[in-house]
Structure 1
Amino acid sequence: MPMGLKVCHLVLSLILMDLSKWVNGAEQVPCYFIFGDSLWDNGNNNALSTKAKANYPPYGIDFPEGATGRFTNGRNMGDILAQLLGFENFIPSFAHASNAKDQEILRGVNYASGGAGIRNETTRNNLGPVISMDMQLQNHQNTASRIAKILGNSEESAAKHLSKCIYSVGIGNNDYINNYLLPQFYPTNSSYTPDQYATVLIQQYSLQLKTLYNFGARKVALFGLGLIGCTPGCIAMYGNGTSCVEYINNEVQMFNTKLVSLVDELNNNFQDTKFIYVNTSSVSSSVPATVINTSPCCEVGNLTANNGVLTCIPSGTACPNRAEHIMWDAAHPTEAAYVMMAERSYKAQLPSDTYPIDIHHLAQLNLTN
């Protein structure tokens, strides 16, 4: 075996061994519901007429089922967190929920959509239709109704069941990548200053999270935006030879700062609920020394076209040392990076990783309606 592949397999084995120390084999919560964008999507975009798809090789090269619609080489963030929470099986996508058994639905649904944003127009003008946060909430309302029927047509039983679930929400990245940063497709850049844009996003997000609360969510992990300015796509489109585009990171940080304040506001307003903030920028900036390569692992197209297409070329080549890469394509992490990020979201290693508690402690809370 070539030395590069030996190193790749060794690093991946160590990552998987490290992950296993958190998983005790028992489900820590009865259910897990996932909302978000391509960092979480596990197949909801497959049947859509959109360019925001990942159901083709080399996506899924390290996933047992191959290219399922996950925007990475293996498991994504939601998959790994489900394992950390003790689930034996991955959470099914909403696209496949109609064919899922009742017991599967009771354990949760993944509504995430590649390209989705807080704003409904995000990604649509440049890549085509996706499932926005508002639409994901509508889908969850349908699921909640089905759960009530499963539990004997009892809304009270459904509410009690949902109150024990973990909800993760990771959305907002595309409101920058596929909206604010593309003025040729969207007017937001000329309509709002960066601070104003962050404010209007948070205002809309606040309404969406209150809707999620009304649908039964009581344990909610909100994932902040990552270091968008350090992704290969943004560096190629907006950089000037530097390793990161700092003005983009600064704009994103405005959103994250306001999101922390929103977490405090929601926790003060809803005493029977706990919202937490996961500092994605923090947990993604501290990568292991073994995972050092920041270039795309798969073959990507012309990133300077500035049209928001940041995915792998269909049936293109993929690097052999995937466990040493942070980035899979021009916008999405590798499974190796996701493992590290999920671990620190689940059990914070630094006080800055999560606020006010981590997902492990969120799962242990006993909240009542």
Structure 2
Amino acid sequence: MKHAIVGCLLGTAVGDALGLPYEGLSPNRAHGLLGPPDRYRFCFGRGMISDDTEHTCMVAQSLIESGNDVNEFTRRFARRLRWWILAFPAGVGKATALSGFRLWLGAKLPTPSATHGSLTDTCGVFSAGNGPAMRATIFGAAIGDREVLLAMVRASTRLTHTDPKAEFGAVTVALAARESRKSGPINANLWLQTIVDTIGEQGVEFSELLSQAVQSATSGEPTQRFAESLGLGNGVTGYTYHTVPVAIHAWLSNPKDFRRAVTTTIRCGGDADTTAAIVGGIVGAGVGREGLPKDWLDGLRDWPRSLRWIENLGIQLASSRSAIESNECQSTQSTVSRVNLIAVIIRNLVFLFVVLFHGFRRLAPPY
């Protein structure tokens, strides 16, 4: 479990940091402007994380504190989301931002038993964005009980996104990470049937997209060509029906090759940091820390959520989940790594400056 959880968290961070400077660029423009995604190109050859990793870490913290209590998880994650919004995060999605502001205005939290139709007066926004999917890998890496996993994914999703499509994407990513952490080869068709059974008839369109991804990956078709077949030749969008099938294709094509899986995903362009973070988390859950390229780990420089901080968080979560799954008593007061809000604000201002630099750089050739 420690192998899977630490690998998932660090894999998410590495994929996020590598893909970040390529975000929003078409494959051709990205190659001409930045070159291949074989090293960090965000800040003087060093990598920094974005909201994809931050949300995954907040989920991990909330899981440590809540055990298997879904209501407690929702409260803990909602509290973190409130304060995260106040720290001036750069590039936050519209639905997530609106949900955070609604939380400050006193909007209700979704309950585990709520249906999508009854979520209109909660903090979540009706959106099919990939925000819930970007933070879902850690559920699959950390939670063995399938029903608990699904309940936690739904709670995380509905806190910010109430469109069922967002939930289908998040469930798929979580179950992919759960499959990845298992030993032995992946049976893609059996895994696909599990997804189809889980999301039901309401997700028929999404199931068809995943079926196409499985067939394409099984036949050896490159991930970028598969993305083009979905009409994503200019880049993968933040729509979860675009993001998740492409991420699943990259994972199934390179289930144990972290470097190839992540770079292949980034080359598809578009929302490159999120797609690479998702793929990095899924593959990382299977290969662990040892399967991540050392040069990429060494080049990841951030603060206060540093590489060591993220790894320690993973170790804490593994200890917490091991205690739960061995039926030991688990207190909601478990020790969990925290970050100082003032430190985060200072860091985010520096991060924003680097983002603005990249934005101005994109105004210049090559086009």
More helix by share: 2
Could you say which structure has the greater relative contact order, defined with CA pairs below 8 angstroms and 6 or more residues apart?
2
Q: TM-score range by the shorter chain?
A: 0.3 to 0.5
More strand by share: 1
Name the TM-score, length of structure 2 as normaliser: 0.34
Name the TM-score, length of structure 1 as normaliser: 0.34
